[in-house]
Structure 1
Amino acid sequence: MSQFLRRIISLPIQSIRSFHSFDDVTPAKYISTHLKNGLGSRYVCQLQRLTIQVCKEFRTSYGTREWIANDLMNFARQHPYVVVYVQPRRHRAPNLIGEYLSGDRQWIPLSNCDRQQINWWVHSLLTQQGDPQWRLLKQMHTDSPSIQGIWTPFTNKPNDLITRTYPDKDLIEMEYPQMTATQQIQELFEQQKTNKTT
């Protein structure tokens, strides 16, 4: 039994609801943008090495062998900054391993993947920065979340705005209050004058 399950079982019932720590399962972090990549000069691809482990005979490697025969040379020409290794392994499932500038490695099993799926995985590794999978944390927390969702400018507007044809004469005219602020001040002034005279 894992340490995580032991921690949950040992907790009393009332504290399980407030138990948030899932760090033993997946690490968590806040969303952050890395503006250093290519700032001021040029884009630097974070993927540095791509290793394709493939069997020459195994049935699950058919799509990988097809991708190597047809697409590998084009990929290498388009992305000369990525070093590509093809590593034969007898009677083992194919794998795709990406190594990044940060030192992280991503390992993807390619069993029974066709050529198009492998192309998708290769380009997925190419466009990542090598961070492992994180659970993203929000910057704010509430115990009673709203069911109406995030506020937008159309939250409390009538639904017929979607079906109208524009330009619409009703929307062009400005909506003025019944009485302007100037008129209200003038009316208060007149009331004060009549109160003083009486």
Structure 2
Amino acid sequence: MPAALRVFQQLRAQGLERQLTGVNPHVKLSRAVPGKTVVIPPLVSLHVLYTPYRVGAGGTSRKLSHWIVEHLPRLAAEHPTVAITVQPQYKGVPMLVGRYGNDFEKLYVVDNWDASKLSQAVKQLTESSGTYAPRQRHQTPVRSFKESITPLWSPFDPTNRFRA
């Protein structure tokens, strides 16, 4: 008998198995039901970094501040699994930062964006998987039929060894 099973049986005999595991191991917690699935959203947290308006110093987040007041509560109600933080940032530009469960991070610099563009960026952050699309590498090498105008000289080339 494996050691872990033996320890578990000793705990069951003392009545401590529920305290150790938190649940009864003999009761099935989840059952497979046809047509019902659980979807775990990939977006874990959304950080809204804005520059507050200061007298004499300006601020580039007036539209973002208005969007935070008007649209962010509805967004939080639509996505209860996403942790949304709003944070003032006194240096730099306003940003939307989406952090995903696979340790990826997507960032939008939202300097002077209007509400529709901000909502579109948040929609892209919430609906994407957090992985970056692979870059398409369709670059073909340059082929030339003529000799180079300025040929390259190397001191190790045996044909032009004593060239000054």
TM-score, length basis structure 1: 0.47
Partner of 1:51: 47
4+ aligned runs moved over 6 Å, structure 1: none
**Contact 1:52–1:96 at 8 Å: present in 2 too?**
yes
Alignment of 1:1-198 (within 5 A): 41-57=37-53, 58-136=58-136
Residue segments in structure 1 that go unaligned for 5+ positions in a row: 1-38, 139-198
Give distance in 2, aligned partners of 1:133 and 1:59.
33
TM-score, length basis structure 2: 0.56
Secondary structure in 1 matching 2:125 = helix
Give distance in 2, aligned partners of 1:69 and 1:91.
21
Q: Which has the larger radius of gyration?
A: 1
Give the aligned length: 100
CA distance 1:80–1:63, change in 2 (3 Å): same
Secondary structure in 2 matching 1:111 = coil
**Contact 1:62–1:114 at 8 Å: present in 2 too?**
no
**Contact 1:63–1:118 at 8 Å: present in 2 too?**
no
Deviation, 1:91, is 4.8
Deviation, 1:93, is 1.1
Give distance in 2, aligned partners of 1:127 and 1:136.
22
Deviation, 1:126, is 0.3
Give distance in 2, aligned partners of 1:136 and 1:127.
22
One-letter code aligned to 1:51: H
Deviation, 1:92, is 2.9
Deviation, 1:62, is 1.4
Deviation, 1:66, is 1.0
Residue segments in structure 2 that go unaligned for 5+ positions in a row: 1-34, 139-164
Secondary structure in 1 matching 2:102 = coil
Secondary structure in 2 matching 1:65 = helix
How large is the Cα RMSD of the aligned pairs? 2.1
